[in-house]
Copies of this chain bind each other. A is one copy, B any other.
Amino acid sequence: MADRDGGEGEGGTVVTPSAEFPPLDPDELRALRRIGDRWRDARRGRPPGADLLPVDPTLRRHPDRPAPTRFGRLAPIVMFRVGEPDELVATEPANLPGSRLGRAATRLRRVLFGPPLSSAAVLYERMRKLVALPVLSSDLLSSVAYGPEAMLAVLLLAGSGALGLSLPLAAGLALLMVAVGVSYRQTVAAYPHGAGSYIVAGDNLGAGAGLAAAAGLMTDYVLTVAVSVSAGIRAVTSAVPELAGWTVPLGLAVVGLLLAGNLRGVRTAGNLFVLPTYAFVVALLALLAVGWFRAAGRGFVPVDPPPVSAVEGLGLLLVLRAFSSGAVSMTGIEAVSNAVPAFRSPEWRNSRTTLTWMVAMLVLFFGGLVGLIHLSGLVPTAEQSILSQLARVTFPSGPWYGLIQAATALILLLAANTAYNDFPRLLFFMARDGHAPRRFLHMGDRLAFSNGLVALTVAAAVILVAFRGHTEALIPLYAVGVFLAFTLSQAGMVLHWRRRRGPGWRRRATINAVGGAFSGLVLVVAAVTKFTEGAWVVVVAVPLLVLLFGAIHRHYERLHRSLALHPPSGGPAPGPSVVPAAPPAAGPAAPEEEELPEQVRHLVVVPVARLNRASLRALAYAASLGQPTLAVHIAPEEPEADRFREQWRAWGDHLRLETIVSPYRAVIGPLAHYLEALHASRADLVLTVVVPEVVVRSRWHRLLHSRTEQRLRAALRRLPGVVVTSLPVHPGG
């Protein structure tokens, strides 16, 4: 599963740790060259040897000698090895954090999730069809464990007499499955590099549609986890009723296990999937065969279901609701389209064949089960899933019943795991396009997208707790997101064919249009008929998510525009005397002139509260930079200011001191305003504020120190042209 690709953007469908460092585009490269030329001109006159470093940066002389402090206290181990010229390669121990707490946490994490994996371990495996089938179909096929039951539960509201409607509804759903399946067969063929709905809809209908599809898919993935886990636990509690009270804790435990397993990184997952999926298929086939054989023996005369009185009248609305509940059996049909590049060559044909098999099996299972349930006269109950009832009726003795329940629970677990693979990948592609926070680009030290995994787990856990782990209560939320993604993807394909106008484009467009229309119909039916039962959550969440993605994108775009390299406006740089009268419209960020080192004019400012070793170190550091230096003292009242000036003179008055009496005893405000006034009087100056920061070790000792340095830094970072230098002072002992 780790080798499916969830989308295709400018950067291809490849998931790579380098995505955090996007390459420069040609424009930027050109700008970079011209900026470099200006540096060369400006620095031409420097004395030779000015660039000589006082140390060997390649550490060739000290590759394995750790420093005598806590960072290196661990062991005399090689932290770096020399790679190419001017390149070091960090070894594993170099990743350990410096603090004792951090190291302990890292060690615990390694025990739980294994040692870190090198970037070189990213796999680009290809799957045979016989492996791809179980890997990709677990999500789809597992839905028959709850789909038929969801449909029957709605029909039962109109009394047991209405259950007979399940047969025509099943026929309609089978039609829908085939239509959507055929439609996806075309999508797969057209997008051999990955045909995820986010990509297809975004490509053909515009970014907004892509984001809507992504939002739908995200709710779908979260609900896949929640529904699959709760249905899996229902399979267990049907067999072992004693566990019935533990649904929510068990669900949370399973979700936690899925998180742990995926943080560990389930590599070469294919083999893991083969056995349970085929076991489920065999078990279901056996169930159907035996059941239908017996029914044939009875001459296909249905057993009368136990009488259940009607709660609602049997109307069109109820039938439509039952239909859209049954449609959740189709969730997972899109899995193949995401995974096309993971197939062996020819990808499109192999994936299309796999898709056909999957849909055929789905239709067989769904139809067979609904029919058999009808013939056996079973009705949904709260205690036992209907699949469990059917298995008990069909195999009253022997190990078969247990095997069916176990296989069902296992395949549902795999279905949930599918979402654990797809959700972080979707976020990765969205983050690469700037539609999701950048942190979803980062691969953890096990090469898993840890942030995405945690986000999915939290969302699924919240849903599980909020709905008390009841599968039935979750179904109304489920269909909307899935069918939104289906609809947008098929609609995108219609436009795709129309634009290309290749041979037979009309036929292809029609097929996709039919699939899209069917999906759209289910979407509308699900959203309308189940709105009050929970579908409103998704109906509200999807537009909000789309707005959020848009806002994130705008923020990153703005940031990129203001930080990207633009070719300089040309001409020699103006001297420092030419200060712009008003800041340019782009705000106070780095006017072009600041970008050459020779043009930076410094003033070093040292706030001094009292004269001790820490402040004298700060003064020495500041003076050693060889730039004009000014010391500032903030006094709460006049007498203290006088006293401080006396001490300053006793020291020798080596640096210019300015005292500021702050009669209201505030320190940060007056200092910030003073620096701003200095900056206002010479806008080309860069003010470097040197702040000594006493580093105390333990957390509770930190409570004894006012966080002046931090507050000062927070206040000053808003000021343009003010640089804050923290000089850590380590008190001994």
Known: A672-B98, A688-B725. A717 touches B693 (CB 8 A): yes
Partner among B57, B84, B624 whose Cβ is within 8 Å of the Cβ of A602: B624
For this complex, 29 residue pairs linking A to B, each with C-beta atoms less than 8 Å apart, are: A18-B637, A18-B640, A21-B640, A23-B647, A29-B650, A36-B654, A69-B676, A69-B719, A80-B673, A80-B677, A88-B658, A88-B661, A95-B662, A97-B715, A98-B718, A119-B664, A119-B665, A437-B704, A562-B613, A584-B732, A587-B730, A587-B733, A588-B730, A589-B731, A594-B617, A595-B620, A695-B718, A724-B726, A725-B725
Question: Residue A645 at the B interface, CB < 8 A?
Answer: yes
Residues of the B chain whose Cβ atoms lie less than 8 Å from the Cβ of A586: 732-733
Tell me the nearest residue of chain B to A614, going by C-beta: B563
Per a CB cutoff under 8 Å, which of B637, B650, B669 touches A96? B669
Q: Does A503 have its Cβ within 8 Å of any Cβ on chain B?
A: no
- Complex interface residues of chain A between 643 and 681 (CB less than 8 A to chain B): 643-645, 647, 650-652, 654-666, 668-670, 672-674, 676-681
Contact A563 B729 (CB under 8 A): yes
Q: Which of B611, B617, B705, B719 contacts A590 (CB 8 A)?
A: B617
The answer to the question of A10 belonging to the interface, with a C-beta cut-off of 8 Å to chain B, is no
Q: In this assembly, does A381 line the interface, its C-beta being within 8 Å of a C-beta of chain B?
A: no
CB of B603 within 8 A of CB of A55, answer: yes
Q: Does A371 contact B (CB under 8 A)?
A: no
Q: Categorize the interface residue count of chain A.
A: 35 or more
Contact B719 A71 (CB under 8 A): yes
Q: What chain B residues lie within 8 Å of A622 (beta carbons)?
A: 597
Binary contact readout A77-99 vs B (1 if CB under 8 angstroms, 0 otherwise): 00110011011111010111111
Closest to A585 in B: B732
**CB-based contact B79/A611 at 8 Å:** no
* Residues of the B chain whose Cβ atoms lie less than 8 Å from the Cβ of A717: 693, 695, 726, 728
Enumerate chain B residues within 8 angstroms of A59, measured Cβ to Cβ.
674, 677-678, 681
A626 interfacial contact with B, CB 8 Å: yes
- Mark A559-595 against chain B: 1 for CB-CB distance below 8 A, else 0: 1011111000000000000000011111111100011
Interface centre among A17, A552, A731 (most CB of B within 10 A): A731
What separation, in Å, do the CA atoms of A582 and B68 have in the docked complex? 9
Distance to closest chain B CB from A44 (angstroms)? 11
The residue on B at minimum CB distance from A683 is B67
What chain B residues lie within 8 Å of A719 (beta carbons)?
A: 69, 71, 98, 728
- Say yes or no: B72 contacts A676, CB within 8 Å: yes
For A20, A442, A610, A704, the residue with the greatest tally of chain B CB atoms inside 10 Å of its CB is: A704
Query: Given the interface contacts A62-B680, A95-B662, A680-B67, does A88 sit within 8 Å of B674 by beta carbon?
Result: yes
A611 to B719, CA, bound (A): 23
Most buried by B among A87, A639, A650: A87
- Is A43 close to B, CB under 8 A? yes
Bound CA span A563–B681, Å? 36
Q: Are A681 and B21 touching (Cβ within 8 A)?
A: no
Q: Which residue of B lies closest to A662 (CB)?
A: B90
Residue of B whose beta carbon sits closest to that of A552: B704
User: Quick check: is A439 within 8 A (CB to CB) of the other chain?
Assistant: yes
Which B residues are in CB contact (< 8 Å) with A94? Answer: 662, 666, 669-670, 673-674
Contact A651 B36 (CB under 8 A): yes
Beta-carbon contact of A609 and B21 below 8 Å: yes
**Nearest CB of B to A215, in Å:** 18
Q: Given A53-B630, A118-B664, A626-B626, does the pair A677, B68 have CB atoms closer than 8 Å?
A: no
Q: Does A112 contact B (CB under 8 A)?
A: no
Assess the A650–B715 pair: CB atoms within 8 A.
no
Other than the given A39-B654, A83-B661, A97-B715, 14 more pairs (CB < 8 A) read A43-B623, A57-B656, A67-B679, A72-B680, A88-B661, A94-B662, A94-B670, A117-B664, A562-B613, A563-B614, A586-B733, A589-B730, A695-B718, A717-B728
- Asked whether A316 is an interface residue with its Cβ less than 8 Å from the other chain, the reply is no
Q: Chain B residues near A644 (CB, 8 Å)?
A: 21
| Interface flag for A555 (CB, 8 Å) | yes
CA distance A445 to B668 in the complex (A): 13
**A21 B677 Cβ-Cβ under 8 A:** no
Contact pick for A601, options B29, B54, B117, CB 8 Å? B54
Nearest B residue to A17 by beta-carbon distance?
B636
Q: Tell me which of B39, B120, B665 contacts A445 (CB under 8 A).
A: B665
| Chain B nearest CB, measured from A128 CB (Å) | 29
> In the complex, what residues of B have CB within 8 A of residue A458's CB?
none
- Give A1-37 as 1s and 0s: 1 = Cβ < 8 Å from B's Cβ atoms: 0000000000000001110111110001100110111
